[in-house]
Structure 1
Amino acid sequence: MSYTAPDFDPPQQRRFRRAPLAVGLAALVPGALLGWVVYEGVGKPGGNSGGGGGQAGAAAPRSAAATASDDAKVPGAGPSPSAARPLQGKVVVIDPGHNPGNFQHTSEINQKVDIGTNWKECDTTGTSTNDGYTEARFTLDVAHRLRTLLERQGATVKMTRDGDQPAWGPCVTKRAEIGNEAHADAAISIHADGAPEGDRGFHVILPASVHSGAADTRPIVDSSRTLGEHIESDFARVTGSAPSNYVGGGTGLDVRKDLGGLNLSTVPKVFIECGNMRDSKDAALLTSGAWRQKAAQGMSEGIVSFLHG
C-alpha cells in the first residue's frame, strides 16, 4: 500500500518509469521460487541425494519404519515362534488331586484297586484347612492356572478331572491311564498335605523303582527325577516357599512306591504337595489367590525347563 500527501501528486513520468521495475520484479519472483524448488528436489550440487531438502527429509521416517519392519523378518532379530511357544508339540497331563464329590461317593472311592505293589483305595477325600477350604478345590484352582500358563507356552494340556466331571474320582489307576494314553511328555499330580500344625513347606514326590504286577516304573525313574528337580527348584524360587521341614530332609524331594498314580505311570510323572493345609501359616498361603498363581507359575517354569532345557 502507498501513501500520498494531500498537496503532493507525483508526476506521471516518474510513475511511468517505476512500472517496468515492478513488472520485472513480479516476473522474477516466481522464477526464483521455481528454481529453488527444482534445486532442492533434485539435490544440491555435490551433496548426498538423500541428505537434505524437503523430499529427502520426508523420506527419512518412511525409511526408518521400513527398516524396523524388515528387522522383524531377520532371523534372530525378534522372538521366533519356537522361542515364544517352547512347548509347541508337547503334551502335559495335569492331575488335580481328589474330587469335591468324593464326600458323597465314599463307597465308590473306597473300592480297592491294584497299584502293583499292593491294593489301595480307588481315591480319597483329601484334606482341608481348619476353615474348611478343601484340598480338592485348591488342586483344581491351581490346575486351571497351570493349564492356562502351559497352553500359552504352546503345550497341549489334558486334565484328569475338570469342574464337576467326573462326579467322583477318578480312581488312581485311571488317573495314571489318562497320562499314559495321552503319551504325555510330562505329568504332574497336584496336592496339599494334611500334617500336624508346625509342619510346613512343600515337597515333590518322585516314583521309586518299582517292578511288580502291573507296575514298572524303571523306564521313567530317571526322567521323573529330573522333572521333579526342575519343579522343586522353580517352585521354591517363584513362590518363596521353603522345602518341607518334615519330609525329604530339607531337599524338597521324596521318593515313594505306594502311590498308584506314580507306580502305574509309563510317562515322566511327579506329585507335588504344595504345603500343609493344617498349618495356619501354610494355610494362609494356600488360600491366597495371588500365592496360588505363583504356585502355578513355579510348576509351569519347572515343566518348561524340563521339556525345553
Structure 2
Amino acid sequence: MTGPTSPAPRRSALLRTATAVAVAVPLCTAGWFGWRSLDGSGPAASAQTATAAAQPAAAPPAGAASTGPAPATPQAPSTGGTTPGTPTGTPAPTDTPTPAATPPAPAGGADLAGRTVVLDPGHNPGNFSHPTEINRQVDVGNGHKECDTTGTETNAGYTEADYTLDVTRRARALLTARGAKVVMVQDGDRPWGPCVDERARAGADAHADVALSVHADGAPASGSGFHVIMPAKVVAGKADNSAIVEPSHRLGLLLRDRFHAATGEPYADYIADQGLDTRSDLGGLNLSAVPKVFIECGNMRNSADAGRMTDPQWRQLAAQGIADALGAFLTTH
C-alpha cells in the first residue's frame, strides 16, 4: 500500500512566465525551419538537394543486342537445298536484315588475333534470277555438279539464302570481336553464285585457318533437327583433300556439340549418325585446301524448325554456336 501524497508547492508568477518562454522559443524556431524547408529555401531543403546531387544516376537496364528481320528478295519457287527438297507456295517478301550488334570481346582479350576464318553463306538470294549461270556444270574432282543452286525455303517463303547470310553476318561479328579476320565468300554483294569450286578455293585464297559453309536443309517435312557434313577423303581428278579430312572431322565434332549447346536444337532425326554426315559429293569439301565442314542448321520444310529459323533471337544463338565451335577449333588447332 502507499500513503497519501502531499500537495505540490505553488509556483510563483515569475517562474511560470520563464517556463513558458523556454518552451515557446524552440517550438517557434522548429516551425520556421520547417516552413523554410517546405518552401525550398531553408537549410533542410539545401541538405536534401546536396544529398540528391551526391547520389549516382541510375544506370539504364542493359538491352539485348539488336537483331533484324530477314532480308527482302522477291523469290521464285526453290529447287531444294543440299538435301533436295521440293518447295511449294509463293515466297513471302521479307525485310532487310540488320546484322546483330558486335558484342564485347570476351575476357582474356583478342584470343583469335592473327587467325583467319572463311565463312561461306550457302547459295545467294540472286540465284533465282540467274538459272543459266548457276546450272552450269563444274568439275568437283570425282564428278560434275551444278555451279550453285537456289537453295530451299520455308512454306512461308523465307529463303535459305536469306537465312545463311543473316547467320554468317552474326557469326562474323562475334568472331571479329575476338580478334579474328573473317572473310565472307559472298556478302549479298554478288548477283549470283559463286560456283561451288570458287567457294572451295576461298579458303586457300584467303590463307585461312578454317572455313565453314552455312546452310539450311530442304528434307521431307517429317524430319527435323540439324546436322554437320564432313568431308570424305577424295583423291580424284583435280581433288585431293587428304590433308584436311582429319582436322575437318575434329571441327565437325566441335561444331555439332557447340551448336547443340547454344541452340538446344536436336540432332537431325533423318540422319543416322548422331547429327554427323560424311559425304564425297560436295565440291565445297572435295576441293577445299583448308579444314572445312558444312552445317545444315535445321530443316526449313519442317514447321517447328522453320519457326525457330525465322526467329532473329534464335539465329543469334545459331551464330553463337558457330562462333564458339570455330573459336574452340582455332585455339586448340
TM bin, normalised by shorter chain, reads: 0.7 to 0.9
CA separation of 1:117/1:83 partners in 2, compared to 1, >3 Å: closer, same or farther? Answer: same
| Partner SS for 1:205 | strand
Match of 1:102 in 2: 127
Provide the rounded CA distance (Å) in 2 between the counterparts of 1:210 and 1:187. Answer: 18
| Partner SS for 2:277 | strand
Match of 2:47 in 1: none
Match of 2:145 in 1: 120
2:250 aligned with 1:226, yes or no? yes
After TM superposition, list the pairs within 5 Å mapping 1:80-95 onto structure 2: 83-95=108-120
2:305 aligned with 1:282, yes or no? yes
Provide the rounded CA distance (Å) in 1 between the counterparts of 2:275 and 2:241. Answer: 21
CA contact (8 A) 1:203 1:248 kept: no
2:268 aligned with 1:258, yes or no? no
Match of 1:235 in 2: 259
| TM-score, scaled relative to structure 1 | 0.72
2:184 aligned with 1:155, yes or no? no
Task: Measure how far apart 1:185 and its partner are.
Answer: 0.7
Structure 1: stretches of 5+ with no match in the other structure:
1-79
| TM-score, scaled relative to structure 2 | 0.67
Q: Which of residues 300, 303, 307 is equivalent to 2:323?
A: 300
Structure holding more helix per residue: 1
| Partner SS for 2:301 | coil
Residue 103 of structure 1 aligns to which amino acid in structure 2?
Answer: F
Provide the rounded CA distance (Å) in 2 between the counterparts of 1:142 and 1:81. Answer: 20
Task: Measure how far apart 1:181 and its partner are.
Answer: 1.1
Task: Measure how far apart 1:277 and its partner are.
Answer: 0.2
Give identity over the alignment, percent.
56
Residue 307 of structure 2 aligns to which amino acid in structure 1?
Answer: A
Match of 2:212 in 1: 188
Alignment: residue pair count: 228
Provide the rounded CA distance (Å) in 2 between the counterparts of 1:183 and 1:103. Answer: 31
CA contact (8 A) 2:220 2:302 kept: yes
Match of 2:169 in 1: 144
What whole-Å deviation, never above 9, does each CA across 1:154-193 have from its counterpart, x for those lacking one?
A: 0000001012x21000000111111111121110000000
Provide the rounded CA distance (Å) in 2 between the counterparts of 1:288 and 1:84. Answer: 30
Match of 2:71 in 1: none
CA contact (8 A) 1:82 1:88 kept: no
Task: Measure how far apart 1:82 and its partner are.
Answer: 9.3
CA contact (8 A) 1:186 1:269 kept: yes
Structure 2: stretches of 5+ with no match in the other structure:
1-104
Match of 1:175 in 2: 199
Provide the rounded CA distance (Å) in 1 between the counterparts of 2:125 and 2:325. Answer: 27
Task: Measure how far apart 1:83 and its partner are.
Answer: 2.8
| Partner SS for 1:272 | strand
Cα RMSD over matched residues? 1.3
| Partner SS for 1:84 | coil
Provide the rounded CA distance (Å) in 1 between the counterparts of 2:172 and 2:272. Answer: 27
